[in-house]
Structures are given as structure tokens and as C-alpha cells.
Amino acid sequence: MELSEVTGDRLVQILATLANPHRMRILAALAGGEDYVSRLAREMGISRALLQVHLRKLEAAGLVTSRLVLSEDGKAMKYYDIEPFSLHLTPEALAAAALSLTADQSQGDRK
């Protein structure tokens, strides 16, 4: 995914998603190869529920993908993998992205 391909709104979503220690560490972990939820939670030392919440956000932002795999012993495992991206942030790039921010001037038109 390239910066030139995303709208301002989507860029905001992506940046907000990346701006979190847990999610950053999750990406770091997945950078070493795909993994399934329970195991990843154990490796990171966080609860599965918490991990799931973050994984859902990462997936919503398009930063990771998931697939359900039936293991040999019948267990359903959900594997997550990184969706490659390359976002070169510069003042000019952001200025360009800002042009495609939705009309209203705040964040997600409140009321």
C-alpha cells in the first residue's frame, strides 16, 4: 500500500491505528511471520481478548489480513499476517492527503 493510493480520511485511520504501542508490537511480531491469535497472545504476554481487539483494528485499517485454518487436530485457528505497506510521510505528502479529507472540518462530524 502506497501513500498516494489512500485518501486523507483513510490515512488518518491508518495513522491512528499505528499510533499505539500494543499494535506496533503486534506488527513487529507478525513481521517475523504469520501467527494465530492464542499463540500470539501468549508470546506477547497479553490477554487474548485484548489482542483480538487490536487485531480487529489492524485488520479494519488494512494493515493485516486473517484467514481461518483448520489444523490437523480439528482446531480452528485464525492466522494473521501483515499486509505490506510503504508510507513515506513528509509535509508535502500530508498536505496532498489533506486535500481529500471529507468536507466537514473536525474529526468525524460530531452531531
Partner DNA sequence: TCCATCTGCAAACAAATACTTGCAGGTGCT
Partner DNA sequence: AGCACCTGCAAGTATTTGTTTGCAGATGGA
Give the integer Cα–Cα distance in Å for 9 and 76.
35
Give the integer Cα–Cα distance in Å for 77 and 38.
8
Q: What are phi and psi of 64, to 5 degrees?
A: -140, 160
Give the integer Cα–Cα distance in Å for 54 and 37.
11
* Stretch in the footprint of a copy of itself (CB under 8 A) among 3-11, 35-43, 71-79: 3-11
* Stretch in the footprint of DNA (CB under 7 A) among 25-33, 73-81, 83-91, 93-101: 73-81
Binding residue for DNA, selected from 45, 73, 86, 95, defined by CB under 7 A: 73
56 binds DNA (CB under 7 A): yes
Residues of this chain that interact with DNA (CB under 7 A) are 16, 20, 22, 36-39, 46-50, 52-54, 56-57, 73-78, 106-108, 110-111
